[in-house]
């Protein structure tokens, strides 16, 4: 399968997906770490992809949604943003609402 | 012959100067800070790869955060091909900047992921 189709499938099949360096337990980048911590704080299940373990996704994710940096958070198939946006939405309480709603919509 | 690329060192102008003038021209910001945070990361000495940009502009009015970041990212696009690796972005309207009392968050420490 083409890598962009593979990414499309991941963001369509999981209501919340974080593309990050490392894992939520063992993050390998400060920005990824903070984004994962904010999501964990929301208390909902989320999927993650360790881009360091998947070079093809690492190379191609930036052109999927025309976003040059990592991490990248997708909710209901849409790019929400990177670390700064995730943290800002978490601070305002918006992220908690968005993730709760996305988790509830999971069929 | 294909010219080789020297990451983050193009001509005499630093990445910081180039980011500053690109944003200055396009967004006419009320406030702009471009901070080189490369030294905080797992990169070769002298690399100009990680920056934090705090930009306050009327042009962000009515735009979502994603779209504000897209604006700045697209301005920086040519630099991403020249060794720019990470941009921490804090994009505010003048009103939001005032509400926050002119402050912005600290960047996280590197955890070695590199690349």
Whether this model's ipTM surpasses 0.85 comes out as yes
Alpha helices in chain A (DSSP H): 3-13, 30-42, 55-64, 83-92, 94-105
Mean pLDDT value across chain B:
89
For the segment B41-69, what is each residue's pLDDT rounded down to a tens digit?
Answer: 888 888 999 999 999 999 999 999 999 99
How many residues belong to chain B?
Answer: 115
The dihedral formed by the CA atoms of B23, B28, B33 and B34, expressed in degrees to the nearest 10: 10
Domain that holds residue A63: 3-97
Q: Is B103 on the interface with A (CB under 8 A)?
A: no
Q: Is residue A55 part of a domain?
A: yes
CATH topology for the B16-100 domain: GMP Synthetase; Chain A, domain 3 (3.30.300)
Q: Is residue A32 part of a domain?
A: yes
Tell if the CB–CB gap between A69 and B115 is shorter than 8 Å.
no
Domain count, chain A: 1
A36 interaction partners in chain B (CB closer than 8 Å)? none
Q: What is the pLDDT of residue B105?
A: 79
Q: What is the pLDDT of residue B5?
A: 59
Q: Is residue A102 part of a domain?
A: no
Tell if the CB–CB gap between B86 and A58 is shorter than 8 Å.
no
Predicted TM-score (pTM) of this structure? 0.87
Nearest by CB to residue B69, choosing from A33, A58, A81, is A81
Closest-CA distance, A105 to chain B, in angstroms, reads 23
Q: Is residue A74 part of a domain?
A: yes
Q: Is A28 on the interface with B (CB under 8 A)?
A: yes
Residues of chain A with pLDDT under 50: none
Q: Is residue A38 part of a domain?
A: yes
B65 interaction partners in chain A (CB closer than 8 Å)? 81, 84-85, 88-89
Query: pLDDT tens track of chain B, all 115 residues?
Result: 566 655 555 456 899 999 999 999 999 999 999 999 999 988 888 899 999 999 999 999 999 999 999 999 999 999 998 999 999 999 999 999 998 888 777 888 888 887 5
CATH number, residue A24: 3.40.30.10
SS3 A87: helix
Closest CA to B15 of B69, B68, B75: B75
Q: What is the pLDDT of residue B113?
A: 80
Residue that the structure tokens 């337990």 belong to: A25
Residue that the structure tokens 């994962």 belong to: A36
């Amino acid at each position: 399968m083409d890598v962009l189709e593979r990414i499309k499938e991941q963001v369509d099949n999981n209501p919340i997906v974080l593309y990050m360096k490392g894992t939520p337990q063992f993050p390998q980048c400060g920005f990824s770490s903070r984004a994962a911590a904010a999501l964990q704080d929301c208390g909902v299940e989320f999927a993650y992809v360790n881009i360091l373990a998947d070079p093809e996704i690492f190379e191609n994710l930036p052109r999927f949604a025309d976003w040059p940096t990592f991490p990248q958070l997708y909710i209901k198939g849409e790019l929400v943003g990177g670390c700064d946006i995730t943290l800002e939405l978490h601070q305002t309480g918006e992220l908690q609402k968005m993730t709760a709603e996305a988790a509830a919509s999971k069929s | 012959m294909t010219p080789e690329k020297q990451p983050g060192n193009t001509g005499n102008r630093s990445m910081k100067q180039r980011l500053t003038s690109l944003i200055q021209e396009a967004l006419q910001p009320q406030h702009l800070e471009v901070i080189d945070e490369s030294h905080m990361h797992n990169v070769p000495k002298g690399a100009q790869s990680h920056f934090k940009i705090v930009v306050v502009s009327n042009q962000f009015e009515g735009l979502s955060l994603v779209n504000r970041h897209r604006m700045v990212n697209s301005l920086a696009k040519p630099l991403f091909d020249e060794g720019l690796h990470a941009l921490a972005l804090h994009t505010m309207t003048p009103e939001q900047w005032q509400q926050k009392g002119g402050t912005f968050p600290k960047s996280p420490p590197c955890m070695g992921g590199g690349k």
